[in-house]
Each structure stands twice: as structure tokens, then as C-alpha cells.
Structure 1
């Protein structure tokens, strides 16, 4: 097996992200690969589908600012340089796939809650990443 050269870890900035980052960081270190961090902020308009006639601009800006701070904090903790930190907006699965292609990543690491039943049928971000990726995907069990 050839080693990994570029590892992309997609995190949600929760406390569980540390477990995912530790795993990705260890893999990157063992393979002497570059580690890229990604967080995707979902637009509130996607979450609510435009059903609520409200202006979410202020809330969206606040979410973006909190995400920047959170991503910066995790990057510092794991020694990831700012140019390898990516904060994007959109659907998480789509953004992960597009960035992994752009970076020519050969491993994507995501967290997975291992849901069953209805939650599994509805899908999850980890499942979406897995089924559209052009490289290896590691789903780290969290929660």
C-alpha cells in the first residue's frame, strides 16, 4: 500500500471534533502527509428552505465569525498552518468533495455518529462524503 500524501479532515467544531482531528493528525504524521482542516458553514437558507420569511444575514455572519474562531483554535492546537485551514459555505458533502479534488487529497477523515434506523435512512454528512468521494474516506466513530 502506498502512503497518503494529503489528508483532508472535515470537522464540525464540536467537542467531538478533537477525536476526529487526533485520528487524522496521527495518520498524517505516520505518512508524512500534509493535513488540511475544513469546516463548512451551512447557509441558514438551506436549513429552512426559504420557508421562514426572515433576514438571517446577521445570524449567518455570527455563525461565520464563530466558525473562523473555532477553526483557528483547532488549527493552533494541532499545529496546522492557516493556509491549510479552509472555511467554506454550502452543503458539507459537496464542499468536502470539491475541496478534496482541488487539493488532490487521497484521504478524507470525517466523524460519524453511527446512527441507525430512521437517522440512517435520512443520511448523514459522513454518508454523503463516503458515497461521492474519489479517494479513501475514514469515518471516525464519535459520540
Structure 2
């Protein structure tokens, strides 16, 4: 197994992020790697495609502030310095690829819901990251109940 030196972990700030972060922290400790956290705030204009004639700037600003606060809490809990926390705006898969390249990441860790069939064809962030990454990608299965 390669020795990962820099791990980029992209999280969505949901309750499922804990499982992804747990795996990422374990991998970083195992490899003595530097761990970076990333959250990407999608612009509301991307989600709605400009179909709704409204100014979303105030809502977008609130989303950004909430994400900053949440990301800082995750970083504090894992003792990750602020310089290794990244909050970007745009399409998540594209931003993950861009930051991964600029940091020289050896591994990207993302959560995956394991969609199948039509949901997979319609795309997911994990799938987009996997197919455009220049390094290894670990998709951590989230959102499924473990069998006893």
C-alpha cells in the first residue's frame, strides 16, 4: 500500500460527515499524512439554473457563514490547523479536483451513498471525483445501517 503524504477529505457537513472524518483521521494517522478538510458550497444559481427570478445573495451568504462555522468545529475536534481547512464555492467535484491538484494530494476521501441504477447515472459527487481525480480516491460508504 502506498504511503500517503497528503490526504484531502471532502465533507458535506451532514451528520454523515463524522464517519468520513473518522476514516480520514485513521488513514492520516496510519500513514503519518497531513490531513486537509474541504467543504464546497454550491451556488444556489447552479441548483436552480437561474429559473427563479430571485436574488439569492443573502441566502448564499448565510450558507457560507454556516459552512465556515461547521467546518471550524470539525477541524477543532480533529486538531486540524486552519491553514488545512478549505471552504470553496462551485461544483463540488470540480473544486475537489482543483484543490487536490494544487495541494499535491495523494489521496482524496469522500462519502458515498452507494447509489445504483438511475441514481448513479444521474451522477453523484463521489462518482464525479472518482472519474476525474489524478490520485487515489477512497469512497467511504455512508447513510446505510450496519447489520447487527
Q: Tell me what 1:57 maps to.
A: 57
1:20 aligns with 2:24: no
Q: Tell me what 1:115 maps to.
A: 115
Q: Tell me what 1:83 maps to.
A: 83
CA distance in 2, matches of 1:115, 1:95: 22
Gaps of 5+ in 1: none
Shift of 1:2: 3.0
Deviation beyond 4 Å, 4+ runs, structure 1:
none
Q: Tell me what 2:134 maps to.
A: 134
Between the two proteins, the alignment pairs up a number of residues equal to 143
Gaps of 5+ in 2: 144-148
Q: Tell me what 2:45 maps to.
A: 45
SS in 2 for 1:138: strand
SS in 2 for 1:53: coil
CA distance in 2, matches of 1:114, 1:40: 20
Aligned ranges for residues 91-106 of structure 1 at < 5 Å?
91-106=91-106
Aligned ranges for residues 65-76 of structure 1 at < 5 Å?
65-76=65-76
1:10 aligns with 2:5: no
CA distance in 1, matches of 2:125, 2:2: 27
Q: CA RMSD in A?
A: 0.6
Range that drifts further, 14-23 or 116-125: 116-125
Shift of 1:116: 1.3
SS in 2 for 1:132: coil
What is the TM-score of this pair, normalised by structure 2?
0.95
CA distance in 1, matches of 2:100, 2:8: 7
CA distance in 2, matches of 1:118, 1:2: 34
What is the TM-score of this pair, normalised by structure 1?
0.99
